[in-house]
Structure 1
Amino acid sequence: MYAVQLAIVVTRETKASGAGTLEEKTMSINSFDNYQLTWRPDKRALKRPVYVALVTAMKDAIEKGELLPGTKLPPQRELADFLDVNLSTITKAYKLSEERGLTFGVVGKGTFVAQNATESIIIAKTASADVIDLGLVSAFDACNKMMVPVIQAVAGQSNLPELLNYDAPTGLPAHKRAGRMYLERFGITDVKDENMAIVSGGQNAVTVTLLGLFRPGDRIAVDFFTYANFIEIAKMARLKLVPILGDDEGMLADDLAAAASQGLAGVYLMPEGANPTGVRISGARREALAQVVRDNNLILIEDDYEGFLKLGLTPLPKMYTLAPEHCVYLCSMTKPLAVGLRIAYIVFAPQYRSQLMDALMNINMKTSAIDSEFVARAIIDGTAQRISQAKINLVEQSNAAFDEIFPEPEASAVDNRQLFRWVEIHDTGMTGREVEQHGLNNGLRFYHSDRFLVGAESAKKYIRVSLSSASTMNELTTGLTRLRQLLIAGGYYG
């Protein structure tokens, strides 16, 4: 059904050269009385600037449940006619709604309400004695005690006062030397001091990079399912994330190239184990993706949070070594050592130094030199390597326990070094939040795939199951057994 268009003639008297004349003007009026729009904002409530007021009204409608996730918004021209505003006003409103994470656009199909338009998808620890946590990806806290001797040794050092001032905001030279020693294990070599910084953990590294190198409205390519906290940080920075499809070898290089031809500023990758899918990018795919990055002058963010777990497996080149002039390499020490030690190393191309340093100073002022001293000492005396090996042993045991309880192909993984598993489930018609709540009601926390979507919908549904947050192996196996029973009983699995 189309809006009814009426034509009327307006006659008015004008004056020209002192003589009275009549001027006729034909005006077009669209009647929407019998026309179904998926969203009919109250035009009387719109204040200037109208495009901003429209986005506010859209957010309110989403929060009230009047606009549901996946709803296709009215075509821009029809909404402009309905509100009697310029088409450019609607175009600006839709663009702003995408920047704020409320909507996503599909070329040739229209604009849709995002899956997580107004809900926070940040993943954080929530204490509850009644719930087994299979949601948060932690790092085997039982290993934390291995850091205690290091901390005690640092506490007895005579140079403690020097670690409590504003000196060396990007990291003390001795701490950077230790960091370079650690990174050499991953093939990151010949790093100059001026092209390296120490920041306050992996998430802080992401924040510094996004705010330093990108501007509001910039487009960054990500995996179709990607790290939930990255989505939230990008939303805060008003960056547009562009989901790129992938396969068992990682993000599709041809699809990245196609997106780059439409305008991209950068790409975010987790080559050693994508969060949440666990996919490890193959060597050939890394080469192909690096070529796209070089050809299109993209900023490549390589998040190597899980690299320490892959030591001993088939070595694959870091993206940084394939496109060093375009790369910002992030290596967090929270997972390898202890999540309470908020330290990460950033290695970057010289062209990015000035912008990253400005962002680092504005956000952090200075990373904790005490934390950095703990980490540096652990690297130098071998504690870091011992803790990493202990965690590799635990992650292999955890994956073996998972495979015993979930032997089906729908729950398989590429290797046994995963901090979490990605399990395909049946679509029961429930929303992702409802599925998660069903788990919580039964004493289990896990996360639904909707939480990791960048706006676009997915025909397939999954849950991410953490293997690294349970206090003991017994608690993990108990949780996994109960999870399997819950999924089967609820019609999600089997």
Structure 2
Amino acid sequence: MTSWTPDLRPDSPRYIAIADALADDMGAGRLAPGVKLPTHRDLAWRLGVTVGTVTRAYAEAERRGLVIGEVGRGTFVRAQTPDRPPSADRQDGTSRDDGQILDLSMNLPALPSEPEAVPGAVAEVSGDPEARRCFDYTTSLGLPEHRRAGADWLARHGLESPPERIVPTYGAQHAMFLACAALAEAGDTVLVEEATFYGMKSVAKTLGLRLTGVPTDSQGLDPAGLDAAARSTGAKLLYCVPNFQNPTCSVMTAQRRDEVAEVCRRHGIAVIEDDIYAFLLNDTEGAALRPLSCRLPEQGFYIGSLSKSVSPALRVGWLAAPAAWIDRIAVAQRATVIMPNPLLQEAARRLIASGAADRLAAGQRREAIARQRLAGEILGRPNSGARIVTHPNSFHIWLQLPPIWRTEAFVSAARRRGVAVTAGEVFFVGRVPGPDAVRICLSAAPNRKALERGLRTLAGLLSEDPTLEMPLV
């Protein structure tokens, strides 16, 4: 836990001043993503304010998206989503904002292999008189041709589903929200991997859902642990990432998928399967590792997206669901965005039909492989004491730190050296003590030269004495 004591502006209410100071210190790099903030009581004592004031301040900071609170664990500085694409960075990988920070904390795709493909598709739709109906309202389930395009794209990753069971969405995060809104009510328990994508934590917080972590190993969810969690909680919903799990990079084997599906079938558990990284599988893996949803046709809710493979700016995704649930998902769609964006869906349809989407996805996969090799060469030295947990095709790595380093100290030291990474703590659910680890997003760097610079900085830190990083008082 950090010893953060903010300087408060005198002209604002105390709770606003605390939230403002938090934002200022995050922007200046004094508080890195994943850092645990002082307890309400501790900060209140330091500032000479009431505990209620600090509670209001942390609530305000969470409303702004600055922090995330975990019941029983504390309040943590949240990784911030960039408001610019990676191409807005200098060629050496430093930010235009401060000239220093290489941000490897967000799982962004690399710069596209065909940079004009997506802008060209959007311009083509805008200038095509035949696409006129894409400028008007559609139904909450979108246009039929866009549902067919979604079915076509998902089929590439092993999910064969008729277009009538495909719901176009604003990306995978929106699909996740729609599935949870349709399947669960406030107070319900949702099972997740013990270290889970924090986008799911945001959905759970918004919908009032309770998350329970399930033990995992190198192959993903532990079937025995899943069975025990189902028995103890009575949960009827599971969210998981079978391919390139975020943050641990695990890929479920075919046998493990069979075992997990059998547990879900036995307990009547619906599965929200987030498969946005499926395009990173090589052809042999892709053919062998059919989605969980194929094994659970009436319980599987499958999420696909173009955000990682083609472009995050398109905000195009799809949710494949059992027929009995489509109307309920349509209600959630109307309540959130009225309808999927027909302009963006049409651009996506054309990219898929022309083959450009496949080429862009293949380019991302090739770049991910090259960056993984680079990371292995630089961080994989046997004398560092660190352990790289990853997959040769993954966008990111899960770096388990050597015994001399604590997560918070490493994240802060890396930030001071100009590299932002995500603390492992922010992914864990409930009171599960996570290992001292960080997630490093290799594809977030604007180019390999910038990535190499950042990785060498991190490699240097791994072999240093962390006490040398402590400020003198």
Could you tell me the TM-score, scaled by structure 2's length? 0.77
Q: What is the deviation of 1:491? A: 4.0
Aligned-residue Cα RMSD (Å) equals 2.4
- Residues 1:487 and 2:462 are matched in the alignment: yes
- Residues 1:63 and 2:40 are matched in the alignment: yes
Pair member with larger Rg: 1
Aligned to 1:78: none
Aligned residues: 389
Correspondent of 2:362 among 375, 383, 389 = 389
Q: Where does the alignment leave 5 or more consecutive residues of structure 2 unmatched?
A: 1-36, 45-67, 84-94, 468-473
Provide the rounded CA distance (Å) in 1 between the counterparts of 2:362 and 2:38: 51
Conservation of the 8 A alpha-carbon contact between 1:405 and 1:480? yes
Provide the rounded CA distance (Å) in 2 between the counterparts of 1:310 and 1:61: 41
CA, structure 1 residues 184+431, in 2 after alignment: closer, same or farther (shift >3 Å)?
Answer: closer
Aligned to 2:101: 131
Provide the rounded CA distance (Å) in 2 between the counterparts of 1:431 and 1:405: 20
CA, structure 1 residues 459+176, in 2 after alignment: closer, same or farther (shift >3 Å)?
Answer: closer
1:435-479 deviation digits (Å, cap 9, x = unpaired):
423222211100111111112232621110011111111011111
The secondary structure found in structure 2 opposite 1:330 is strand
Residue correspondence of structure 1 range 440-459 to structure 2 within 5 A? 440-458=415-433
Q: What is the deviation of 1:272? A: 0.8
Provide the rounded CA distance (Å) in 1 between the counterparts of 2:159 and 2:349: 17
Q: What is the deviation of 1:487? A: 2.7
Conservation of the 8 A alpha-carbon contact between 1:121 and 1:228? no
The secondary structure found in structure 2 opposite 1:468 is helix
Q: What is the deviation of 1:150? A: 2.2
Conservation of the 8 A alpha-carbon contact between 2:76 and 2:426? no
Aligned to 2:6: none
Provide the rounded CA distance (Å) in 1 between the counterparts of 2:350 and 2:139: 18
Correspondent of 1:237 among 198, 203, 207 = 207
Conservation of the 8 A alpha-carbon contact between 1:207 and 1:233? yes
Provide the rounded CA distance (Å) in 2 between the counterparts of 1:224 and 1:441: 30
Q: What is the deviation of 1:168? A: 2.6
Residue correspondence of structure 1 range 406-421 to structure 2 within 5 A? 406-408=379-381, 410-413=386-389, 415-421=391-397
Q: Which amino acid aligns with 2:201?
A: I
Q: Which amino acid aligns with 1:478?
A: R
- Residues 1:185 and 2:156 are matched in the alignment: yes
- Residues 1:438 and 2:413 are matched in the alignment: yes
Could you list the structure 1 runs, at least 4 aligned residues long, displaced by more than 6 angstroms after superposition: none
Aligned to 1:146: 117
Provide the rounded CA distance (Å) in 2 between the counterparts of 1:346 and 1:154: 24
User: Greater strand share, 1 or 2?
Assistant: 1
Q: Which amino acid aligns with 1:284?
A: Q
Q: Where does the alignment leave 5 or more consecutive residues of structure 1 unmatched?
A: 1-59, 68-100, 105-112
Aligned to 2:292: 319
Aligned to 2:147: 176
Provide the rounded CA distance (Å) in 1 between the counterparts of 2:420 and 2:164: 43
Aligned to 1:162: 133
The secondary structure found in structure 1 opposite 2:293 is helix
Q: What is the deviation of 1:350? A: 2.0
1:2-46 deviation digits (Å, cap 9, x = unpaired):
xxxxxxxxxxxxxxxxxxxxxxxxxxxxxxxxxxxxxxxxxxxxx
Q: Which amino acid aligns with 1:443?
A: G
Residue correspondence of structure 1 range 46-445 to structure 2 within 5 A? 62-65=39-42, 113-114=72-73, 117-119=74-76, 121=78, 123-125=80-82, 128=97, 129-143=99-113, 144-189=115-160, 191-262=161-232, 263-314=234-285, 315-408=288-381, 410-413=386-389, 415-426=391-402, 430=406, 432=408, 434-445=409-420
Q: What is the deviation of 1:430? A: 5.0
Q: Which has the higher contact order (CA 8 A, sep 6+)?
A: 2
1:211-269 deviation digits (Å, cap 9, x = unpaired):
22111111111111110121122122111111111111111111111111121121111
Conservation of the 8 A alpha-carbon contact between 1:268 and 1:303? yes
Provide the rounded CA distance (Å) in 1 between the counterparts of 2:108 and 2:407: 26
Provide the rounded CA distance (Å) in 2 between the counterparts of 1:122 and 1:359: 28
Q: What is the deviation of 1:65? A: 3.0
Aligned to 1:473: 448
CA, structure 1 residues 240+399, in 2 after alignment: closer, same or farther (shift >3 Å)?
Answer: same
The secondary structure found in structure 2 opposite 1:421 is strand
Provide the rounded CA distance (Å) in 2 between the counterparts of 1:338 and 1:193: 23
Conservation of the 8 A alpha-carbon contact between 1:218 and 1:240? yes
CA, structure 1 residues 232+120, in 2 after alignment: closer, same or farther (shift >3 Å)?
Answer: farther
